Amino acid sequence: MVLNWEKHIPVICNFWESMILGSHNYQGNPMLKHIELSRKEKLLPEHFERWQKLWKHTIDNNFEGKNAMVAKQKAHQIGGLMLLKVASNP
């Protein structure tokens, strides 16, 4: 499966801007999108763990302060919930 990164990166940015800064730029359902993705190519706990490590590393190396902490906390919460939802929707 190949992602169109030129299309996907702005969506990711809008999602996280909405989550961290409250911009409300994101329109969509990321949980449903990841469930659909996992049906095509199984998402495993290792994928979420790797993403969490990359996310934390990127935040720690590029940002500091309250929003950086919020970004890491929200990623941890969302990643955990998403893993549970993906696993429970074969």
Tell me, yes or no, whether 69 lies in a domain.
Answer: yes
For residue 59, is pLDDT > 80? yes
Tell me, yes or no, whether 6 lies in a domain.
Answer: no
Tell me, yes or no, whether 22 lies in a domain.
Answer: no
Residues in the chain: 90
Tell me, yes or no, whether 19 lies in a domain.
Answer: no
Tell me, yes or no, whether 84 lies in a domain.
Answer: yes
For residue 90, is pLDDT > 80? no
Angstrom distance (rounded) from CA 23 to CA 53: 25
pTM of the model: 0.85
- Counted domains in the chain: 1
For residue 50, is pLDDT > 90? yes
75's tokens: 């990623």
Q: How confident is the model at residue 2 (pLDDT cuts 50, 70, 90)?
A: confident
Tell me, yes or no, whether 77 lies in a domain.
Answer: yes
DSSP alpha helices (H): ranges in the chain? 5-21, 30-40, 45-62, 66-87
Range of the domain at 62: 43-90
Tell me, yes or no, whether 7 lies in a domain.
Answer: no
